[in-house]
Amino acid sequence: MAKEIQWSRFLAPDAKPSPGEQLGLVVRLSIPIILAEISSTVMSYADSAMVGSLGAAATASVGLVATTTWLFNGMGMCIVTGFSIQIAQLLGAGRLRQVQSVMRQAMMVCTAIGLLFAAAAAGISGFLPVWLGGGPEVCAGASRYFFIYGCGLPAVLLRQAGGSMLQCSGDMKTPSALNILMCVMNVGFNAFFIFPTRTVAVRGMRFTMYGLGTGVAGAALGTVMSEAVAMTLMMYFVCRRSPVLRLEKGIPWRLERSCMRTTVRLAVPIALERVTTSLAQIAGTKIVSPLGTTAVAANSLAVTAEGFCYMPGYGMAAATTTLVGQSIGAGRRDQAKRFAWLSVGVGVGVMTCTGVLMYIAAPWIFSMLTPDPAVQTLGAAVLRIEAFAEPLFAASIVAAGALRGAGDTLVPSIMELGCMWGVRIPLAMMLVGPLGLHGVWTAMCTDLCIRGLLFLLRMYRGRWLEIQAISAV
């Protein structure tokens, strides 16, 4: 039945694949997502560099509202996760008709929630930057950026839903390719919207580059346009091309109580954690804001730069959620456990290497992101602090993917929430006075290390293997 369930032989009751075969499957499924995540980070660098070329104030404008955009994105992914876990486990159980039903309900709910998010974002865009503590030179641009981005949230949610459903069906390549395409389009759209029409010289040849010159607002326009195109293509592959997800006749478009109840049960703990985590990140922004424009810009760019390290971990986590979810659905808890630990091991190894690379290359990275020497120096210094947390950060990211694939969403959310509000924020408030931005990032590093240890302990105890998202019938 096509590539989506290519590992079905691993899930047979009598299947006993070798550790090498399991590791190979983990790697093959992870690589497309990792490549997409890395390309996304590279394109984010280019995006940040474009905005950064306008000056520290422009960078700070985008950085000031970045945590709030992450809040809306994260809330969307929580809803999507509630559906995608069900799809993975139903596929593992071979219940394809129910897969079709869940997919339809996911599309309806994500459309409705996306419209509500857009209305909410538009409503708060005028006063949000002021509330976050931005200065007069930052607030106007930040407001315009957030308003435009907020209007594109329906496309963001549907793109997330489509990609997650394809991944949980086993098709990692299509959403990865479309996400890479979206990143490339984002750079192209940004170049057009951000900068005015200008003459460019390349190897003695001069030609005209057309543009609208809308500055910071152009960065939001570029993002929204690329999200809209990617969403359209993602829905096409889900509805028309996927062998197991494509729309078939005879299955009604209606919300079912059992599906919605399960979605709420799975999504609410993650949503509460994401909301409170994002609120903590916003609180972190308020802690950083009084340090001045240079600190806000350096903090924003350092977060972007760190994506080079943790994006591979999120790629591994997505693959692990699928493998664990389908294994649990097929009744193969032994396989789920092996997939989980293999994935964590690979994730820790990859992110340890990227952490070392980030530490070494930090000054060069910032020289590419901004021409401001003060921002370069400060950003590189705090980025090097974060590099020490990457191995345990990897453990928490990939382990969370494994636990949630099994339907264990409550305890991981509590652990992440506790670390954010119990460690990061209090410690940042204590250290920001004597250490400035260095103290804020030291608090972040401490939080991520503790979080990784807690997730490893949760996996070791094994209680997550007894949780199942879908009913037995």
pLDDT in tens, 102-146: 889 999 999 999 999 999 999 999 888 888 877 788 888 889 999
CA–CA separation, 416 vs 400, rounded Å?
Answer: 10
pLDDT above 60: residue 9:
no
Counting the structural domains of the chain, the total is: 1
Residue 221: band (very low, low, confident or very high) from pLDDT cuts 50, 70, 90: very high
CA–CA separation, 369 vs 362, rounded Å?
Answer: 11
Domain membership of residue 9 (yes or no) is no
Burial of 411 (0-12, 13-18, 19+ CB in 10 A): middle
pLDDT in tens, 304-340: 778 777 777 887 888 888 888 888 877 788 888 888 8
Domain membership of residue 34 (yes or no) is yes
- Average pLDDT value for residue range 20-26: 73
Do residues 16 and 159 touch, judged by C-beta distance below 8 A?
no
| CA atoms in the 13 A half-sphere facing the CB of 30 | 27
Domain membership of residue 392 (yes or no) is yes
Phi then psi dihedrals of residue 225, to 5 deg: -65, -45
CA–CA separation, 459 vs 34, rounded Å?
Answer: 23
Domain membership of residue 363 (yes or no) is yes
Classified as helix, coil or strand, 81 is: helix
Do residues 121 and 129 touch, judged by C-beta distance below 8 A?
no
pTM to 2 decimal places: 0.74
Domain membership of residue 10 (yes or no) is no
Maximum pairwise Cα distance, the chain: 70
- Average pLDDT value for residue range 277-306: 80
Query: What does the pLDDT read at residue 429?
Result: 92
* Residue 333 or 391, more confident: 391
% of the chain residues with pLDDT over 70: 92
C-alpha distances in Å from residue 267, one per residue of 85, 247, 272: 10, 25, 9
Domain membership of residue 471 (yes or no) is no
Give the angle subtended at the CA of 330 by the CAs of 329 and 336, to the nearest 5°: 80
Phi then psi dihedrals of residue 208, to 5 deg: -95, 130
pLDDT above 60: residue 8:
no
Domain membership of residue 346 (yes or no) is yes
The domain of 47 spans 16-466
Quote the mean pLDDT of the chain: 83
Which residues have C-beta within 8 Å of that of residue 323, sequence separation ≥ 6? Answer: 7, 25, 26, 29, 336, 339, 343, 405
Beta-strand (E) ranges in 105-256?
Answer: 196-202, 205-212
Classified as helix, coil or strand, 436 is: coil
pLDDT above 90: residue 96:
no
Domain membership of residue 20 (yes or no) is yes
Query: What does the pLDDT read at residue 302?
Result: 85
